[in-house]
Structure 1
Amino acid sequence: MKLSTDALFPFDRGDVSDILPGGRAQIRKIADQLRTIRVGHMEVRGYTDRLGSPTYNLGLSQRRADAVKALLVQQGIPADRIDARGVGEQDSITQCSDRQSHDSLVACLQPDRRVEIVTFARTDDRLPPRGAANAMDRPPMYRQQ
């Protein structure tokens, strides 16, 4: 699932308090969907465009991922099933020329500013809790060989 961060957050923002009403509605809808499918765990990945320093963008992308995770938890998704990870400007999906006005470049780079929710299906109701301390506590199908 991909969410445009421009729909979730104002430009250059990334905290829970910054999430726009439309973004909150999107996250509620996604949480409703997630509760109806067999999800073992999920990863919320935050991305930025290339504007700004790599260090700043990595922090911003992590704040965005953390904010979306927090709202999913508020909607009843167990926190221990969600990993939040900021990846900064990696995995760009745009090809924008730097030879345009700043506003045009910001608009062109918009698809890079996104949050993705990657789900990993639960195939067995006996799935052990993530981070189980003892591998022998896991059903045989989940033990590392």
Structure 2
Amino acid sequence: MKKLVLLPTAFAMSVMFAACSTTPTTTSQLDQARGDFIAAQSNPSVAANAPLEFKAASDALDRANTAAAKKESLDEIDKLAYIAKQKIATAQEAAKAKQAEADVANAARQRDEIRLEARTAEANNAKAAADRARTQAEQAKADADAARAQADAAAGSARDEAAKNAALQQQLADLQAKQTERGIIITLSDVLFQVDRAELSAEGMRTAQKVADVLAQEPQSIVQVEGFTDSTGTSSHNLELSQRRAESVRNALIGLGVPSAKIGTRGYGEAYPVASNTDAGSRQLNRRVEIVLSQNGAPIANRR
């Protein structure tokens, strides 16, 4: 908006005439009007918020100044000065009202901005809380899934282990294995060997395969193969035959994949009979090979 001149034209003329006249024409009313005008003009709010009112005030002061310059009657000058003062006051009040309205509007706008900021902050906080809750829920679900998977794996492992143990127990039952203080004992009867010889028969090899299958499931086991005979024949022959039969079983197991370092042998000859040697049936029971399996890698105790 174009800024008004500092002083009305008539006021400038009156100053010029006053400079030329020895007795300037003015009144206290006019001087007050001029002072009020200068004060209003110095306030940017008046020109900005009440431009029409301020223009009317300026025009009124111009008329008062013109009357003073023409040396019109003092009453006329005071009357015009009074009108100018009223219009200046009106312009100032109008400016104050407009400024107050602007202040109220600005306060309302600031209040709305603060409310908007508060609502935005509240929404952001709610979103952040929702994001945290979602993250926690996802983490809880992941933890639950992991725990479930771990439980399923443990259950599966337990089922596998139980199935493995059941299969092992069935294999041992098929071999008629017995649990003793020395360990699990599997007995190979005399019929699994050639007569008076150490070589395993076909049936003996099938039995050896079953033993090897058991040992494959028991990697910690240590094996002791012990041979026995009846009392027929010389002691030296019986001892030598029992040792060879124990060695034959050891070699068969090695050939079936059992590590050689795990297998020991011992021939006892006619010692430690399990039946009398008075008849053929009893002597056949004494002609045997016993395979002793340690438990959990424990050493096998010597016979007593």
With normalisation by structure 1, the TM-score equals 0.72
Q: Which residue of 1 aligns with 2:240?
A: 59
Cα deviation for residue 83 of structure 1 reads 0.3
Q: Which residue of 2 aligns with 1:13?
A: 197
Q: Which runs of 5+ in 2 are unaligned?
A: 1-185, 299-304
Cα deviation for residue 123 of structure 1 reads 5.3
**Equivalent position SS for 1:39:** coil
Distance 1:123 1:42 in 2: 9
Cα deviation for residue 37 of structure 1 reads 1.8
Q: Which has the higher helix share?
A: 2
- What letter corresponds to residue 11 of structure 1 in structure 2? V
Q: Does 1:47 align with 2:228?
A: yes
Residue in structure 2 matching 1:30, options 206, 211, 214: 211
Distance 2:214 2:277 in 1: 34
Instruction: Note the alpha carbon deviations across 1:9-55, whole angstroms, 9 max, x for none.
Output: 122111xxx31100000000110011112433110001111101111
Contact 2:230 2:269 in 1 (8 A): yes
Query: Equivalences for 1:1-145 in 2 at 5 Å?
Result: 1-6=186-191, 8-14=192-198, 18-97=199-278, 105-122=279-296
Instruction: Note the alpha carbon deviations across 1:88-113, whole angstroms, 9 max, x for none.
Output: 0111111243xxxxxxx334310101
Distance 2:210 2:223 in 1: 16
Distance 1:115 1:32, change over 3 A: same
Contact 1:38 1:121 in 2 (8 A): no
Distance 2:214 2:196 in 1: 28
Aligned length: 113
With normalisation by structure 2, the TM-score equals 0.36
Cα deviation for residue 5 of structure 1 reads 2.3
Contact 2:231 2:277 in 1 (8 A): no
- What letter corresponds to residue 23 of structure 1 in structure 2? G
Contact 2:227 2:243 in 1 (8 A): yes
Distance 1:123 1:65 in 2: 21
Contact 2:230 2:277 in 1 (8 A): no
Distance 2:206 2:274 in 1: 25
